[in-house]
């Protein structure tokens, strides 16, 4: 069974994607932190971070997602320090790589305002509207926003014995909760004035969820794709992959790509990735198998 894709994402008033938008897009991860959970994504040094942006573009990313604060626990990072880590870098990426779209991973409206002024195209609110002013900042600046689901957890906290009640639906409780939350969040963003084509929904695997929950969400990607907004899948090397295979972050690539293929087949639109080249190849292969794009060449048995 082939599932319809979620709607195409638009940023800067233009559609995002490869192969005339028929294949999913990649959001490359650039962490301006010294303590990211995956050592390969620690780009605290300016030179390393710029090299990462250049490589991401060369390997097929359309968006870079820049974060200044680790999602998990750790030292307190003030607004001023987060701004210092991300704003100059956004300006530099915009100058050197104008074809790249820039996303900033933040839950703070103060940071969102500054990065929007610096040229960011998208705010990746991974903490589900913890700061209610974030959507207004996106609307006022004509940029996109990611609406996420964290099970009501506050920023930089880890889930503990998370449960979602069973429902009368045939769907698992976590899927129903995610669908209801993301519909409401997306509609709120639209009502605030964000272009509906620039509102992305993200089930936010691992955040406020255990491994069973995250696996169920991958399995039901097609339900997310039917909501009516572009779907972001942030699967890369996450704990649910590690726990499923009992592997540390640096050994989770194959598991990530397996989840990526399943989510892409079911209509995921944007994939947040550490490993851009491998992800690009998987997404293009899935798109070809779906019949969305043609093979790059066909010579076997035709000549």
- Which residues form the catalytic set? 238, 272
Q: Cα–Cα distance between 16 and 29 in angstroms, integer?
A: 17
Structural contact between residues 264 and 25, judged by C-beta atoms closer than 8 angstroms = no
Going by C-beta distance under 8 Å and a sequence separation of 6 or more, which residues neighbour residue 248?
242
Look at residues 110, 179, 189 and name the one whose alpha carbon lies nearest to residue 145: 189
Beta-bridged to residue 67, according to DSSP, are 31, 105
| Separation of first and last alpha carbons in the chain | 32
Q: Cα–Cα distance between 28 and 38 in angstroms, integer?
A: 14
Token pair for 66: 């820049």
């Amino acid at each position: 069974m082939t599932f319809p894709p979620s709607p195409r994402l638009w940023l800067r008033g233009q559609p995002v994607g490869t192969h005339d938008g028929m294949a999913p897009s990649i959001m490359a991860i650039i962490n301006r932190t010294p303590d990211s959970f995956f050592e390969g994504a620690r780009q605290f040094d300016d030179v390393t971070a710029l090299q990462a942006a250049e490589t991401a573009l060369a390997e097929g990313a359309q968006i870079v997602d820049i974060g200044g604060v680790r999602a998990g626990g750790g030292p307190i990072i003030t607004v001023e320090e987060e701004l210092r880590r991300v704003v100059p870098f956004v300006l530099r990426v915009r100058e050197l790589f104008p074809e790249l779209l820039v996303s900033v991973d933040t839950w703070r409206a103060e940071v969102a305002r500054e990065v929007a002024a610096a040229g960011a195209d998208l705010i990746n609110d991974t903490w589900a509207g913890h700061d209610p002013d974030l959507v207004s900042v996106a609307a006022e600046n004509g940029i996109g926003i990611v609406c996420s689901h964290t099970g009501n957890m506050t920023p930089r906290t880890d889930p503990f014995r998370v449960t979602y009640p069973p429902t009368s639906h045939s769907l698992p409780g976590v899927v129903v909760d995610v669908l209801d939350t993301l519909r409401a969040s997306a509609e709120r963003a639209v009502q605030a004035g964000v272009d509906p084509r620039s509102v992305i929904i993200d089930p936010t695997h691992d955040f406020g969820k255990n491994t069973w929950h995250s696996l169920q969400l991958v399995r039901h990607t097609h339900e997310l794709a039917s909501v009516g907004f572009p779907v972001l899948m942030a699967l890369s090397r996450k704990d649910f992959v590690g726990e499923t295979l009992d592997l540390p972050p640096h050994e989770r690539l194959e598991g990530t790509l397996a989840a990526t293929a399943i989510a892409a087949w079911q209509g995921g639109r944007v994939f947040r990735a550490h490993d851009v080249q491998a992800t690009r190849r998987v997404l293009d292969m899935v798109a070809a198998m779906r019949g969305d794009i043609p093979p790059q060449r066909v010579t076997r048995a035709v000549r």
